[in-house]
Structure 1
Amino acid sequence: MGAFVAEVALRWSDMDAFGHVNHARTITLLEEARAELLFTEAERQGLLGMAEGMVVARVVIDYHSPLVYASKSLQVQMSVRELKAASFILDYTAYAQEAVATAETLMVPYDLRAGRPRRMTKEERDFLAEWRLDAEKPELGRV
């Protein structure tokens, strides 16, 4: 299918004393975009389990240029990589007028009641596979 795109509004309070969006706020903006994919879009497709337990095990972010409030919004393109039985990596490219940051999060499904990681269901894996950029495409003429 390709990348999932979320539009996240910037707030005046996202700025720091240097006039650009603070690092911690950038992580929060990426979280808002991620929630749109893993919770809102997943629920729209009938998957409720992701919203009941999904945790970030690692986050890495590279900044390419300052993100300023004047941009008003951030377009975040996300795709899934390294889809495993109990984890996956979500890649991000955040755009204002240009690419301002790239990031990745290692996501782990989590059973809140048991207090431990869990394996993904087949339905969750199928949903996430839709957003892989390297997914195999069917050959011409094959359905």
Structure 2
Amino acid sequence: MGVFVTGVRPRWSDMDAFGHVNHANTVTLLEEARIELLFTEAARHGVKELAEGMVVAKLVVEYLAPIVFTGEDVLVEMSVRELKSASLTLDYVVRGSRDVNSPVVVKAETLMAPYNVTTARPRRLTEAERDFLAGWRAGGNGA
């Protein structure tokens, strides 16, 4: 697999006075894409624990060009760069349209930690979670 690709649609209300999607709403678009991978796709592969608790420990966003509302999806490509026993780093490349050849407008990364909401404490990744996530390493061939 290697790279997970999904579309997310900016909303008209995401734009600021300068006519582009503002920072807070860009972060929300990244979150929506991440949910598709960590919750929806993981569940499709029988890995449901990720949806029970994941927190963002670090977020880095690099803006290369504005995201502009067009009524169409932007393309988000995600891969797992680093996978540890109790964390993972996701890399994002956001393209200005659904076209894989469209310019990159944002690059980002999130350091994620699995979290037990019952105990309110971080936890270790399960073997099933690690196996699923390893399939999304950049350049990996996945399961």
TM-score by length of 2: 0.92
- Cα deviation, 1:3-50, whole Å, max 9, x if unaligned, reads 000100111011001100010000000000000000000011111110
When Rg is computed on C-alpha atoms for both structures, the one with the higher figure is 1
Work out whether 1:92 is the aligned partner of 2:97.
Answer: no
Cα distance, 1:113 vs. partner? 0.4
Q: Which residue type is aligned with residue 74 of structure 2?
A: L
Secondary structure of 1:41 counterpart: helix
* Alignment gaps of 5+ in structure 1: 138-143
Equivalent residues in 2 for 1:1-143, closer than 5 Å: 1-70=1-70, 72-96=72-96, 97-135=102-140
Cα RMSD (Å) of the superposition?
A: 1.4
Distance 2:92 2:71 in 1: 18
Deviation beyond 6 Å, 4+ runs, structure 1: none
User: Counterpart of 1:128 in 2: which secondary structure?
Assistant: helix
Structure 2 unaligned residues grouped into runs of 5+: 97-101
The whole-number CA distance in structure 1 between the counterparts of 2:34 and 2:105 is: 17
Aligned length: 137
Counterpart residue identity of residue 110, structure 1: Y
